[in-house]
């Protein structure tokens, strides 16, 4: 590869071919040799660099108003690998491009944050929607999964979510977002907890709180669903529970301490909640009656 291109790539991680004819010729020559990959119109990276990462950075660099949104923003907030399809919003019109989905939309400045993305040896800044806007955006498609995750991590609050939903009147998918937010009013931290809360409400069972810290000597146990008067804790094992060996062991130790401290504990799995909801409610009612 030409030394000038190598210097540009080592300095900023990508090269734009919209400069001089000489630079364009160097880029096209390197591309024909398989040394550069085009990630979007006019933006090239060294072959082997993750294309989705380069697209996200290239979009933010070439469009100063573009903001990464949806699954792309969520991955950045949770420090996970980016999805292959980069989602973004911009007040400017963008041509359809492979690997990019740019919605024509302006994001309020107070809901735009900076995030770091590594491109080769460079750490570059991109713009992303805030966690609360990201969660609300996704609620029309993910049944509240992002809301659950960000509530569990204490990255958003119900009040913040409600404010953003109220501010989005008229947006496509707004009715679904409202329904999901209403379903989130007891702060579920997983899809299984969300389903358990729904079953309790539909069954007319009251007097419970969620994610309640219970102090036992020097330990604090967090109860998924707690009936404090009846000293009953309902633990919900989500779909991913059996793959987390450390969490499985911790949950059993915590359950033993709760029982020894005079609490009763009921455990329900995702399959129980989904396939036998009447049995779940009947067992909780029986425990409360005792």
pLDDT single digits (tens) 170-200:
578 889 999 999 999 999 999 999 999 999 9
Percent of the chain whose predicted confidence (pLDDT) is above 90: 60
Model confidence over 63-93: pLDDT tens digits? 999 999 999 999 999 999 999 999 999 999 9
pLDDT mean over 253-277: 93
Looking at residue 242, what is its pLDDT? 47
Give CA 59 to chain center in angstroms: 21
Output the DSSP codes for 73-137: HHHHHTT-PPPSSEEEEESS----BTTEEEEE-PPPGGGEEEEEEEETTEEEEEEEE-HHHHHHH
Percent of the chain whose predicted confidence (pLDDT) is above 70: 91
The span from the CA of 219 to the CA of 206, in Å, is 27
- Is the model's pLDDT at 268 over the cut of 60? yes
Model confidence over 212-248: pLDDT tens digits? 999 988 888 889 999 999 999 999 987 664 456 677 7
Query: Where exactly are the structural domains of the chain?
Result: 3-129, 131-183, 191-289
- Is the model's pLDDT at 155 over the cut of 80? yes
Model confidence over 108-137: pLDDT tens digits? 999 999 999 887 677 888 999 999 999 999
Q: What's the whole-number average pLDDT of the chain?
A: 88
The span from the CA of 148 to the CA of 198, in Å, is 14
The answer as to CATH 3.40.605.10 being correct for domain 191-289 is no
**Residues 241-268 as b or e (16 or more Cβ within 10 Å = b):** beeeeeeeeebeebbeebeeeebebeeb
């Amino acid at each position: 590869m030409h030394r000038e291109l190598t210097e540009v790539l080592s300095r900023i991680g990508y090269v734009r071919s919209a400069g001089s004819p000489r630079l364009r010729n160097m880029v096209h020559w390197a591309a024909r040799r398989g040394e550069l990959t085009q990630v979007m119109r006019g933006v090239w990276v060294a072959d082997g660099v993750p294309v989705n990462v380069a697209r996200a950075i290239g979009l933010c660099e070439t469009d100063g108003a573009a903001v990464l949104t949806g699954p792309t923003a969520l991955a950045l907030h949770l420090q996970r690998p980016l999805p292959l399809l980069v989602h973004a919003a911009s007040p400017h019109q963008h041509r359809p491009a492979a690997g990019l989905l740019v919605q024509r939309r302006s994001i309020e400045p107070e809901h735009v944050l900076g995030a770091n993305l590594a491109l080769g040896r460079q750490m570059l800044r991109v713009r992303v929607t805030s966690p609360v806007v990201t969660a609300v955006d996704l609620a029309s498609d993910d049944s509240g999964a992002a809301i659950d995750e960000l509530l569990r991590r204490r990255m958003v609050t119900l009040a913040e979510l409600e404010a953003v939903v109220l501010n989005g009147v008229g947006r496509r998918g707004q009715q679904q977002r409202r329904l999901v937010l209403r379903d989130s009013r007891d702060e579920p931290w997983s899809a299984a907890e969300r389903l358990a809360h729904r079953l309790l409400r539909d069954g007319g069972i009251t007097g419970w709180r969620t994610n309640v810290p219970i102090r036992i000597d020097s330990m604090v146990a967090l109860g998924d669903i707690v009936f404090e008067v009846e000293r009953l804790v309902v633990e919900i094992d989500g779909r991913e529970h059996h793959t987390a060996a450390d969490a499985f062991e911790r949950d059993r130790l915590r359950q033993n301490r709760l029982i020894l401290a005079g609490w009763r504990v009921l455990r329900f799995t995702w399959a129980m909640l989904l396939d036998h909801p009447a049995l779940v409610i009947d067992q909780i009612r029986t425990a409360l009656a005792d």
